[in-house]
Structure 1
Amino acid sequence: MSGAVQSRGLVALFKRGWNEIPEVIGSTFMGIIGIGLSMGGLYTYYKKDGDYNKYKLEYTVIRHDDPLANRLQKVTRTV
């Protein structure tokens, strides 16, 4: 056994992994960042009503008492 004391924990695991396999650790880190950015983008997309498509290929009939009608009137008035 060597005289060096091995530290334990997540930070030590990251440091040891970065010294031994930097490609895997770096790509894992970039993947985690990509997943976080895509989740943030999806949240913003649905928060701002991204499902609304102003120019559709087919007609859609919406009744006047449908909640979607009020939302569409607000969107088309601001454009």
Structure 2
Amino acid sequence: MAAPVSRRTIGQLLKQGWNEIPEIIASTGLALVGAGLATIGCYNYTKNDGDNKRYKMTYVVMRPDDPRVQKIRKD
């Protein structure tokens, strides 16, 4: 004899999880939000050339035809 198959939706599972283990459900939600914000932050860092620091510990010599020369900040 086969076991009865339950057809639960994601909403029902989340509701049951919130009733049984609210700490895990809440921390999982916050972890997903944090991962999303970290991804957006890393994307913006690379998009805005975040590695272009005003003061560096070592000198870097670049040729005039290097494309990074156009991004040098002159604050």
Question: What TM-score comes out, normalization by structure 1 length?
Answer: 0.81
Q: Which position in structure 1 is the counterpart of 2:47?
A: 47
Q: Counterparts in 2 of 1:48-63, with a 5 A limit? A: 48-63=48-63
The list of structure 1 runs, each at least 4 consecutive aligned residues, that deviate by more than 2 angstroms after superposition, is: none
Aligned to 2:34: 34
1:3: which partner in 2? none
| Alignment-mate amino acid for residue 67 of structure 2 | P
Distance 1:69 1:43 in 2: 22
Give the aligned residue type for 1:38.
A
**Identity percentage of aligned residues:** 44
> CA RMSD for the aligned pairs?
1.4
CA deviation map 1:36-64 (0-9, x unaligned): 11111111111111011110011110011
Unmatched 5+ stretches in structure 2: 1-5
Provide structure 1 residue ranges, at least 5 long, that are not aligned to the other structure: 1-5
Q: Distance in 1 between matches of 2:68 and 2:24?
A: 47
In 2, Cα distance between equivalents of 1:29 and 1:20: 16
**Which letter does structure 1 place at the counterpart of 2:20?**
E
- Structure 2 counterpart of 1:44, which letter? N
